[in-house]
Amino acid sequence: MTSLHTVTAEVGGAAHAAPPRRRARRWTALAFLTPLIVYLLAFYAYPLYRNIDLSVHDYTPRAFVQGDPEFTGLDNYLDILSDDAFLDALGNTALFTLGSIAVQYALGLALAVFFHRSFPLSAVLRAMFLVPWLLPLIVSASTWSWMLNSENGIVNAALQAFGIGQINWLTSPDTSLLAVTVANIWLGVPFNLVILYAGLQNIPADLYEAAGLDGANAWQRFRRITFPLLRPVSAITLLLGLIYTLKVVDIIWIMTRGGPADASTTLAIWSYREAFGTGQPDFSPAAAVGNLLILIAFVAGLVHVRLQRREETA
């Protein structure tokens, strides 16, 4: 009897102090969360930690194998920042990234507005603009480098037809960065087109109708309706474009190897070359350059969040 009493008392007490249901729910939540947390730790936190670890040690191939790298603190970063190549690479990165996203965005927006007015075959045409996205990068980058070949490229052949002499697109330090930027713009337009087109779909049609009744012309409608209402979508497009473009390695690597003589070397190419591009891997400086890139992208993300918050409060 007494035991039964205590049991009921306990059950009642437990129900009062901390509802088992809620506690159970917390455990359920945790159980569902675990795979995600494990995934994040294994595939995000650890690589990031490892990258930082690589960058503050001196990992020569020997140290890499033996596991006894010398701790060098911020020396790798200082070496990179004081390297003559750093400012060049930073400048190239800025030109490549900003040039790419500005033109990609402008072209993407123009095309999105163009396709927004549905016309016969517009869907087919729009689909064809996605081709650059579907091609494997090795294919499109190789095609670009053939097209821009100094001697036998189709671009120079076309220019020669107009009496313009040979331009060494990929092999002159004056034009190689421009050449890879153009190729990258071509690659990035579909992404901008798709996102901005989706953004346009969300602008209510009656706004345009009302503006039309008020006598607004096409430019005014774009300027006063489309552009302002597209601002949040534009911001995220530009931010994603920035992050994607900062870390572009493949297209530049395939087309110029960052050359001639570092003329198209961006920070990402520099990092890749240190780690994998020479006969002897230099993981530590490569990781340091990589971390600087992450930092730049992170700052851009912060600015975006800041701007967004200000817009929301305003």
Partner 1 sequence: MNRPSMSTRTTVFGTAVLALSTLTACASAPQDASGSGTATASAAGAYTWWDPYPQHDAGSAWAERVGSCGQQAGVTIQRTAYDTTALTNQALLAGQEGNAPDVILLDNPAVSTLADAGMLSAMSDFGLDASRFDKNLIAAGELDGKTYGIPIGANTLALYYNKKILDEAGVDPASIKDWASLTAALKKVKAAGKKPITFAGIGTEEGSFQFLPWLWGAGAQLTQLDSPQAAEALELWNSWLKDGLAPNSVIGNSQNTSWEEFLTGEFAFGENGTWQINSAAKAGFPTGIVQIPAKDGGAAPTPTGGEFITVPVQKDTKRYDATKKILECMTTPEGLVETGTTFAYYIPSTAEGQEAILAKEPTLQPWVEAVRTAKGRTSDNLGTDYPKISEAMWTGVQKALSGAASPADALKEAQAQAKQATGD
**Contacts with partner 1, residue ranges (CB under 8 A):** 15, 20-21, 24-25, 27-28, 31-32, 34-35, 60-62, 64-67, 145, 149-152, 166, 168, 170-173, 256-263, 276-281
The least distance separating partner 1 from the CB of residue 30, rounded to whole angstroms, comes to 9
The least distance separating partner 1 from the CB of residue 270, rounded to whole angstroms, comes to 12
Nearer Cβ to partner 1 (180/189):
180
Nearer Cβ to partner 1 (150/308):
150
Contacts of 260 (CB under 8 A, 6+ apart): 170, 171, 172, 173, 176
The least distance separating partner 1 from the CB of residue 292, rounded to whole angstroms, comes to 20
Contacts of 163 (CB under 8 A, 6+ apart): none
Look-up: residue for tokens 């993300």?
A: 301
d(CA 227, CA 150): 41
Nearer Cβ to partner 1 (168/284):
168
Nearer Cβ to partner 1 (32/71):
32
Our CA dihedral for 146, 175, 300, 138, rounded to 10 degrees, sits at 10
Nearer Cβ to partner 1 (244/270):
270
DSSP letters for 170-184: TTSTTTHHHHHHHHH
Query: Side-chain half-sphere of 56: how many Cα atoms within 13 Å?
Result: 8
* Residue 57 host element (H or E): strand 57-58
The least distance separating partner 1 from the CB of residue 28, rounded to whole angstroms, comes to 5
The least distance separating partner 1 from the CB of residue 286, rounded to whole angstroms, comes to 12
The answer to whether the peptide bond before residue 260 is cis (omega within 30 degrees of 0) is yes
d(CA 213, CA 21): 60
The least distance separating partner 1 from the CB of residue 65, rounded to whole angstroms, comes to 4
* Residue 70 host element (H or E): strand 70-71
Quote the DSSP letter at residue 27: H
Nearer Cβ to partner 1 (171/308):
171
Nearer Cβ to partner 1 (23/306):
23
The least distance separating partner 1 from the CB of residue 149, rounded to whole angstroms, comes to 6
Residues 20, 14: contact at Cβ < 8 Å?
yes
